[in-house]
Amino acid sequence: MDKFMIFTFVGLSTSAIYAVISSGLVLTYATTGVFNVAHGAAGMLSAFAYWQLHVAWGIPTLPAALLVLFVLAPLFGVLLERVIMRGLAGTTEATRLVVSISLLVAMIGLAQAVWSPAVGRVVAPFFEGRQLTLTRDVSITYHQLITIATAVVVAVCLKVFLTRTRTGVAMRAVVDDRPLTLLNGVRTDRVAQLSWALSTSLAALGGILIVSSAGLNAATLSLLIVNAYAAAAFGRLRSLPLTFVGALVVGLGDGYLAGYLPQDQRLAGLRPAFPVLVLFAVLLVLPSRPLRTHVRSREYFPAPSLRGAATYCAVIAAFGVVLATTLSGPDTIAYAKVFAVGIVALSLVPLVGFAGQVSLCQLSFAGIGAAVAAHVSKGTLLGVVTSVVVAALVGGLVALPSLRLSGIYLALATLSFAVVLDRWLFNLPEIAGFAFFPSGSLDIQPLTVLGYTFDTPRRQMLLAVVAFTAMSALVVALRRSRYGRRLLALRDSEAACATFGLNLVGARLGVFMLSAGMAGLGGSLLAMQQSSITAADFQLLSGLPLFMLVVAGGAGFVSAGLFAGVGLYAALPLLPSLWSGLTRVQPILPGIVGIALGRSPSGAAADVSRSFTPLREDAVVLSITVAGCGAWYAVRLLDVFGNPTMWVGMVVTVLVGLGAASRRRRPAGAAEVIALEWQGVDEPWSASRVADLDRALRLEQTRMSLSEVAHGAT
């Protein structure tokens, strides 16, 4: 009985912390519609700030805590809402999710840049060493008592605030009907700022309470919010009382597992995985939500033309050949990851960009594909095919019970799967003759096809380039196919698709399995490039930036896969070599890219593609530009100069060609922008005028002949 009471108090203390953190998460989502993945990172930064004030600068405990909770954290929350979150109006849930993930990555990078991870930091619990004795063998520390009491006070204060105060009622009204509250004079922007300030303070409170036991580690503290997701899901991200009930279930379960879980290596990962198992179970029993109708969005993803797709594939192939033939051996190994990881990133384009479904476990599918290929491959093509099939089947198993879900709930379900793999399944010892990583790492043999072995870095890069180009062509074909149009219709309006008899479950399951299979292929190629892999290569924290950069690049564009691969394994590693001062800010840069997505929801690919339109449409200048780049490459092969000179020369050549094409397209003195209302009025219609109108209205997919224009005018 004493043991039961001891671990009950441990569980209650954990429950209290989860209740405080998850209540802030629910408050933000319920009042603003943004699921803040970075909620835990805000608590992490607050914990570091508390350490800086209390430990490093010697400010007493209470003033330091009050300064963080009532000054720094609220100001940070208001800043987030005003600068970042307010710009997310009119974007999809995937975009809002990516911005919050970007915040998570940026906050972790910021904490590691300011407070070096190499330095150990300890925060003592409140009233360290003092405890209240209940029986001879049972006692509870003052810190645990304060934690439990704090959770009770927070629950009571939130209840009174939301039901008995004018501001709290206004916050609830904004959730129910935002336009109606505007008509009644409620300043919804102020309400959103208050919600973010209060939510960030609650995250800070949870971070300060848990830091003494969890340790002052940026990544660990930030991802503790995953455990609080289960509590928030109990309340369906709306109900605070049910959220506190969920926190009790998760916290007490964790406490009892700590005391009663058998000492078996196969069960060692069950306790850290328990909260996400609860989360997944709760998501499965949630009632189905109404089918989503059409929602206006500022995102725009036009269909690629056959000419544009062929040009893109040719450019990728040429880019890969140039890299493979000019880089040194170590650089070839490093940059080959661009294409292998690019395939994993590309797998998100049909799922997120076409179908509007969210998955945060693509790197986990890649890990499954890599492990299967290592076990089965033996250097044969059968192993690669098997990795694709197994990853697709696992993707179907994950998606099938979750197909009732969509949006943030589907994202949480896939996140749960990734965390379970990280914390438990990938680390299991051999069971029934199989283990993902039986000795911590797994060796894999290079691929052999028709007697040709891809056993050098150059050959492996070329293999990845060919696979990436083929997958890009497959995604383009899917986008232009009848099935691709079904996915787009599903993304636009589920209710309309159901009305016309479209099989929603079949469409979702098919695209999810296709996406998982592509990720498995990328994982198997990545494993062959590295020759040895571990579970750490496929962790959730590594997969989040991949998802983030795909959406930031433009989830509906095929080029988003290359954008993510180049960003993670070419651009970011290259920056410190250009200037050593960028080393400390390097981890923050992916987050900054994703945060900027709120200002340009269609992603970077749309802007880049639009800027190159003059060059693509001018055959003469394009031919000269291609010949110039080829000349730089040919001279480089003669070892006249090195790679930096070649790449600078190519970039300058392309920029000069782009400028020349722009000048030829718009003669000097010509009006840059023609008013749409005067098209066809001030002068006759022409093919160029139709193209200008289509481009301004974003109707590049529409092709109107002059006869159709004339017929329409009559």
| C-alpha distances in Å from residue 60, one per residue of 63, 124, 202 | 6, 12, 21
pLDDT attached to residue 671: 44
Instruction: Average the pLDDT over 405-415 and give the result.
Output: 78
Average pLDDT, the chain: 80
Express each pLDDT in 203-253 by its tens digit.
999 889 988 888 888 888 887 777 788 888 887 777 788 888 888 888 888
Instruction: Average the pLDDT over 326-343 and give the result.
Output: 88
Are 337 and 523 in contact by the 8 Å Cβ rule? The answer is no
The contacts of residue 309 (CB under 8 Å, 6+ apart) are 472, 473, 476, 558
The contacts of residue 389 (CB under 8 Å, 6+ apart) are 517, 520
CA dihedral 365, 367, 369, 371 (to 10 degrees): -150
pLDDT attached to residue 300: 63
- H helical segments located in 327-361: 329-335, 337-346, 348
Cα(100)–Cα(595) distance, integer angstroms: 8
- H helical segments located in 224-336: 225-234, 240-260, 270-285, 306-326, 329-335
Cα(456)–Cα(482) distance, integer angstroms: 41
For residue 401, give the nearest of 288, 501, 495, 275 by alpha carbon: 288
pLDDT attached to residue 603: 66
Instruction: Average the pLDDT over 114-128 and give the result.
Output: 85
pLDDT attached to residue 668: 45
- Of residues 272 and 175, more confidence is placed in 272
Cα(126)–Cα(129) distance, integer angstroms: 9
pLDDT band at 709 (very low <50, low <70, confident <90, very high): very low
pLDDT attached to residue 431: 66
Torsional sign, CA 55, 59, 64, 67: negative
pLDDT attached to residue 597: 59
Residue 453: enclosing H or E segment and its boundaries? strand 452-453
- For the ranges 489-503, 517-531, 534-548, 668-682, the lowest mean pLDDT is seen at 668-682
Q: Can you read off the two tokens belonging to residue 18? A: 């989860």
**pLDDT reading at 505 higher than 80:** no
Express each pLDDT in 693-705 by its tens digit.
676 665 654 444 4
pLDDT attached to residue 681: 56
Instruction: Average the pLDDT over 397-425 and give the result.
Output: 80
pLDDT band at 708 (very low <50, low <70, confident <90, very high): very low
Are 360 and 540 in contact by the 8 Å Cβ rule? The answer is yes
pLDDT attached to residue 443: 85
**pLDDT reading at 557 higher than 70:** yes
Cα(613)–Cα(616) distance, integer angstroms: 5
- Of residues 667 and 639, more confidence is placed in 639
| C-alpha distances in Å from residue 362, one per residue of 35, 326, 423, 540 | 20, 31, 16, 9
pLDDT attached to residue 389: 94
**pLDDT reading at 592 higher than 80:** no
Most confident of 3-7, 374-378, 525-529: 525-529
pLDDT attached to residue 674: 47
Express each pLDDT in 26-81 by its tens digit.
888 877 777 888 888 888 999 999 999 999 999 999 999 999 999 999 999 988 88
Are 544 and 100 in contact by the 8 Å Cβ rule? The answer is no
Q: Which residue shows structure tokens 């780049």?
A: 629
pLDDT attached to residue 75: 93
What would the DSSP string read from start to end of 11-27? Answer: HHHHHHHHHHHHHHHHH
Q: Can you read off the two tokens belonging to residue 499? A: 């009305």
> Which one-letter amino acid corresponds to residue 371?
A
Q: Which residues pair with 434 in a beta bridge?
A: 431
**pLDDT reading at 365 higher than 90:** yes
Instruction: Average the pLDDT over 183-212 and give the result.
Output: 82
Instruction: Average the pLDDT over 565-578 and give the result.
Output: 77
% of residues, the chain, pLDDT over 90: 18
pLDDT attached to residue 673: 46
Are 41 and 108 in contact by the 8 Å Cβ rule? The answer is yes
Count how many Cα atoms sit within 13 Å of the Cα of residue 123 in the half-sphere of its side chain.
27
pLDDT band at 649 (very low <50, low <70, confident <90, very high): very high
Look at the pTM and tell me if it is higher than 0.85.
Answer: no
Cα(45)–Cα(55) distance, integer angstroms: 15
Cα(89)–Cα(80) distance, integer angstroms: 14
**pLDDT reading at 192 higher than 70:** yes
pLDDT band at 471 (very low <50, low <70, confident <90, very high): very high
Instruction: Average the pLDDT over 606-612 and give the result.
Output: 75
pLDDT band at 343 (very low <50, low <70, confident <90, very high): very high
For residue 46, give the nearest of 188, 199, 201 by alpha carbon: 201
Cα(399)–Cα(417) distance, integer angstroms: 10
pLDDT attached to residue 608: 76
CA angle at residue 421 from 420 to 422, to 5 degrees? 90
Query: Three-state DSSP class for 659?
Result: helix
Q: Are strands 532-534 and 441-443 parallel, antiparallel or unpaired?
A: antiparallel
Express each pLDDT in 266-308 by its tens digit.
777 788 888 888 888 887 777 655 555 545 555 667 777 788 8
pLDDT attached to residue 253: 87
**Residue 274, number of CB atoms within 10 A of its CB:** 21
pLDDT attached to residue 190: 78
Q: Which residues pair with 632 in a beta bridge?
A: none
Residue 533: enclosing H or E segment and its boundaries? strand 532-534
Instruction: Average the pLDDT over 178-184 and give the result.
Output: 64
Q: Which residue shows structure tokens 């900054």?
A: 592
- Of residues 577 and 645, more confidence is placed in 645
Q: Which domains does the chain have, with CATH numbers?
A: 2-260 (1.10.3470), 306-587 (1.10.3470), 671-714 (no CATH)
Q: Give the relative orientation of helices 381-399 and 408-423 as an angle to the nearest 10 degrees.
A: 130
Instruction: Average the pLDDT over 353-366 and give the result.
Output: 87
Q: Which residues pair with 453 in a beta bridge?
A: 448
Q: Can you read off the two tokens belonging to residue 277? A: 């198992």
Backbone angles phi, psi at 82, to 5 degrees: -70, -40
Query: Three-state DSSP class for 493?
Result: coil
Give residue 291's region: left, alpha or beta (phi > 0; psi -120 to 50): beta
